[in-house]
Structure 1
Amino acid sequence: MENLSRNDSCPCGSGKKYKRCCLQRDEALAASKRAEAATIRKHIQAALEHHQAGRIPQAEALYQQVLRIDQNNPDALHLMGMIARQAGNYDMAIELINRAIQIKPSDPVYYNNLGPAYKALSRPEEAIASYQHAIAIKPDYADAYSNMGNVLRDQNRFDEALACYHKAIGIKPKFVEAHFNLGNILKDQGKLDEAVASYQKALAIKPDFADAYCNLAVVLDGLGKTDAAIASCQKALALKPDFAEAYNNLGGLLKDQHKLDEAIPCFQKALAIKPDYAEAYNNLGDALKNRGELQEAIACCQKALLLDPNGLPGLDSAVRLATLYYLQGDLPQAARMIELARPILEKTGSKFRAAQTYCRYIDMLLSWWQQAGPALQSREGAETIYVIGDSHILSAHNVPILKAGKPFLCQGRWIEGCKQWHLGNEDGNPYKDQFQSIIQSIPHYATILMSIGEIDCRPDEGIIKAWKKHPEKTIEGIAHATAAAYLKYVSQIAAPRSQKIIISGVPATNLSLENIAGDELKQFVGLLDIFNSMLREYSLKAGMDFLDVFTMTNSGNGISNGQWHLDSTHLRPDAVVEAFEKHYLSATAR
């Protein structure tokens, strides 16, 4: 057939010469096919131009025209799959791209573009297999290596992901996305200096890479370079004014610098750009809580939880809501928040220790109030004791006590994560801002109990950590400086309002101590004794009363006597009653 001459007999069997029989028909058919092919090429080229320019409806219309001409055109099927993927229709994307692969299994681009659809549907193994197919066809396919690294990173398979990124960069040294992705995984691993270097390489290749500036800001903040981090966020926003993530990151940096009036508008701008941004709602809720706008904070946390009930913003918001509801006396809602947080914590393991601690603690408080709470009787005419501090204030909240025979009702004022060191530190910080705001909201001449827990006295934090960093100092010296600065600050802030300050000691430890070595254990329990002695001595000398919960809970060696602890660090509500009745030291009685 291929060597058929015009003068040969026509293969149709008519007996006529080919030129007198089927040649014209075959030539017409060939011309038609050439015309169709030209039309398809023209439509595909025009569609790609629309597609790359973001004119998706026009691109889709042209791809559809191609498929009407040739329903099995692999390029049109593949590109329709790309449109489906970009629209979030991942199942359709997988179906269309797989059809293209069946027709043309030798194209590595199809496999590379199939992977992200599987990734979006949480089908990582199929995504990885797609990239491996692409690489098998094209061993120097840098994009496929980088994309496979992203999936492996999500699976916490960091070594494999790193190998993929390095392979991609080895193939394509100026591959900006691979340098960026390498920076991301180094950030996740806490290798912050290396992450900075990777982001800077990405920016050297692509100076207008807003995402790299945004992520670089996070790493710089982790290195303590806050001003540089803020500048990096601002650069990202200059390049990309509608960058919600950069506004959110900038807000977080400003919040940490206790610039709430600047941070809050950043979170609000992020939400104006991206209304379903759970992390920004969570951060805005935290900032509003720190500014004392509790109802607005609750509304933001509720929104974050609604948008991301199974993720970290949802967890953070659920725990914060549980605490705020508990402080508002809405115990059923607090219990509901704990139930919502529990499955997230089970999924994330021990990674989020603070959230786990709050959840267990509030859950145990709720059970305690249900079982033993009715025995605590509030008395008519009770005055308020305002209890300011970290999580330990929850044990005292709404507890009726007698102080020198006079009835009081404790009311908590929460400063999340606050340490004695934070308030005694000469530099400004969000904890001091919150403390001053709370003090201003409490009436003149009111009674205040400072109930800040054990964070400064933990075996792996606070005073011991500072001593290990500065071994030329002594534990006693650091404890003295911390206690003295804390008490001086509290006294100075409360004095203009003539508020009566009571200082609570730190309870004996109820931690599991099996994994603490002998010398370290001795240092730890010794610190508890030293720090409480200093708090007691200095507060009484300064005219502040002292609540000696250490003596009440101490078995004699700094370890809990097992009578009053609710969990490993917090006391039961009835311990507050006991402390005021039997372990209250008055400065005026000395």
Structure 2
Amino acid sequence: MRIYIHVDPSGGYSEWTYVCKTPLTHVHEAVTAFVDAYNCKFPTQQLTPSLLVAMANNKPLEPTKKISTLLDDHDSCELALVHVATSPPPQPVVTSVEPRKPNHGAVDMLLGHANKHRQNNAWRSAKALWEAVLVDMDTANASAMQGMVDLYMQSTQWTKAKSVLLKLLLADPTHQAPRLQLATCEMHLANSGRAITILQELLSTPSLTPDMDHDASILLATALYECGSIKDQDKAVSILVHLLDKSNHTDMDAMALYSQVAHDRGKPAQAMQMMLKVLVDRPKDKRVQAKCAAFLEAPRGFEYLQLALDPTSPSTAPAYAYLASVAKDHGAMTACVSCFQQAVAQCPSDVMFALNYVHALEVCGRYGDAFVVVKQFVHNTPTTVVGMDLTCQDIAAVLAPYSTLDDASGHWTEEAAMAWKGTHVCVYHNDAKFERAVATTVDLTGQQLDLLALLCTLVKILFLQGCLRPVPALVDAIEPLRYHYGHLLHTTSIRNEHAYYSCITQLVTIPSLHVPRPRPSNIIYVCGDSHALATAWRSVGAHVLVPALVTGLKHWHLRKTSTFYPKVHFFNVIKSIPRGATVVFVFGEIDCREGLLVAVEKCRYEVIPSVEAYDFDSYSKLSKRQ
């Protein structure tokens, strides 16, 4: 791709055409590339990125326009640039920021585009536009500075956010929202004392809005409570009691913080009741979910939950299942398993509960227990059917000879031949099972999809643990249905389970698998995401490769502050590997596919190389910890 960029002579600037061969995405990136090249060629005629852009036909272009939409049949395009004169830079002053005379139309256009990028979480693109406004057009533009503050806060760059906030408040010290944000930054920077001072000054402002007064009071109570001294904590409690009384105990922010106070001061049952009330009011609030998960994972946390729920209510089992999901998302896996166990006990025929219970047991490395859950479910629901003819009774018959997972260990018999036919796996030469036409839509119910996912997960567990004896019969039962719906299953809620199953069923048709029992000393463990499956139970020289699968193995999940369940899964898998064993770690697949790009787009890092180096360093430290 070639981009030809031409600037017309004006105001002492030279006419010049620049040919750019670097891959670019947006028009404003092309402008920046041109300006850099122009300034190198004409050092005495420095341009800034404040240029109006048009096609060769003088049709104006938006800076955020994608270049790919402008290319002609020869994969080229021509852009014309017109320099916009700006006033000279202001003289520096001590007490205030003197803005340049802005081009309001151009500024408003860039701010509008930046806001659209922000709404789409395209923070990197928004940042480029805010910086263009602040550097080249209006150095004291409050909207652009506020955008930069929000960008830095969402990416937890508290020092940078604080720096911009101080500039913003220098221009308008009375602005309330930035003062609240500044206090938030100070708290994250472990400057609770400074945060308290800012909030107390803010709360003394006569014109404070009710919402701002409330938010500042909650943040002040949080800062006082986190200071640690009994005197400050008592002040925090007084603020919370006042807010709760004032709202007739409907202030969920105050109740959430007060529940933490109650939990810390030896009233965990009361804290659990309050937190459940807050969670019902704010079921999608991540901070509330995290605190609830922490209460559940605390000593006797599940007992206090049981005291708070009515065992006779039909809504209790779904409540346990929901709380289990909350606990799982925040790494509280002991509580998660207990909640799912209770939900399944109350509703043993609910396949969604059973499926999620099995997934929780996988995270904990309890594959034997997961096998028993599946076996019990298909035994207790024999008439449940998926599609036209796959029943739980069929699966129960396959599993009947195996009381435990260990009973199924080893390879299947030679008679159970499996062959890949290009679109499906055929077992026992049963080609007639695949004569049914391929579906054009998925007409399965949600429960039927969950049951199919449960069976796919069963095959995955058996394969990972080297328990292959039932696999041919299970594939023979499941594969005709899977083939009928084919790739359409990737568009459903069970795409992950289906993907694992499809990968495994193809792998088992490739000779030769080696599943030694007992496991010899010449084992190499391959720890990674789905890529670890390809080498499973293969031999390399004298060594057998054993899978150590970790779903969701990427740096963002394993970072120090993460509580997401893949981190728990990773360390549980590591614990299952014998000390002193040889391990090959397959790190970085998800990071390279999307993690690095997302991190840079959200401005957690400036460029790809910096996040690559950070990921490598973090993975190295994780490996050395084991």
| TM-score for the superposition, normalised by structure 2 | 0.38
The structure richer in helix per residue is: 1
Greater Cα radius of gyration, structure 1 or 2: 1
Does 1 or 2 have the higher relative contact order (CA < 8 Å, sep 6+)? 2
| TM-score for the superposition, normalised by structure 1 | 0.40
